[in-house]
Amino acid sequence: MNKTKTILIVDDDGDFVESLSVYLESHGFRVLVADDGDEGLKLARMEDPDLVIMDIVMNERTEGFFTIREMRRDSRLRDVPIFVLSSLYSDGGSFRIQPEAGWLAHDEFMPKPPDVAELIRKIDEHLGTREASK
């Protein structure tokens, strides 16, 4: 029996979260939502998601970084793929992230808003779900 994969979105942009949730659900994923890092960490520990989509700038400018660090320290969450979706990669003003430097413990880094077809392809690649095998 094929278990429905669960994706946790941690992001404080309600409109973005709503549209991304609908898109992911239409592709067969169960979606959980947290609007800040603390709530995301608690929800991840309770629900054991298969993948996390994380924003960086929420209540605090670097909140996502610290949430990712805490997830990587937790033995139950350590190996859960984390996708960072952030506008900081393309438009961060004086604060620019360079994910290719490898210092952030993420699995994928995509600009926000993402190319949704590419996002689904990468999710399927990491989770071994249907489109990845086509």
CATH of the domain at 50: 3.40.50.2300
Contacts of 42 (CB under 8 A, 6+ apart): 34
pLDDT computed for residue 51 by the predictor: 97
Predicted TM-score of the model (pTM): 0.83
Is residue 21 included in any domain, yes or no? yes
Is residue 1 included in any domain, yes or no? no
Is residue 133 included in any domain, yes or no? no
Is residue 131 included in any domain, yes or no? no
Cα(9)–Cα(35) distance, integer angstroms: 8
Per-10-residue mean pLDDT for the chain, 134 residues long? 83 94 96 95 96 85 81 92 78 47 64 90 87 41
Question: Each residue of 61-81: pLDDT tens digit?
Answer: 667 788 888 998 999 998 999
Is residue 26 included in any domain, yes or no? yes
Q: What is the count of structural domains for the chain?
A: 1
CA 27 to chain centre: 16
Domain that holds residue 36: 6-126
Q: How far lies 55's CA from each of 2, 120, 132, in Å?
A: 29, 17, 24
pLDDT computed for residue 123 by the predictor: 95
